[in-house]
Amino acid sequence: MFTVKQLEELSYLSWWDLSCPPLKVLYDDWKDANGLSEDVIDKMMDILMEQ
């Protein structure tokens, strides 16, 4: 699963256009450092969208 801190970090990252190449690298590094899969991130985004 994921932590509240990771959810908050994703919230901050999601404010930016992650298709921008320099930001995509930051996002990929964050995702790898936290060991998160795309499925988990999709669930996290669903939670963020509900708020």
Confidence (pLDDT) at 33: 94
The pTM score is: 0.67
And the tokens for 6? 């990771």
38 vs 42: CA distance, rounded Å: 6
CA dihedral angle for residue 42, residue 44, residue 46, residue 48, rounded to 10 degrees: -140
The residues, ordered by sequence, that sit 6+ positions from 12 with a Cβ below 8 Å of its Cβ are none
Give the list of residues 6+ apart from residue 24 with CB closer than 8 angstroms, or none. 18
What is the per-residue pLDDT across 8-38, written as a single tens digit (0 to 9) for each?
888 877 766 666 777 778 888 999 999 999 8
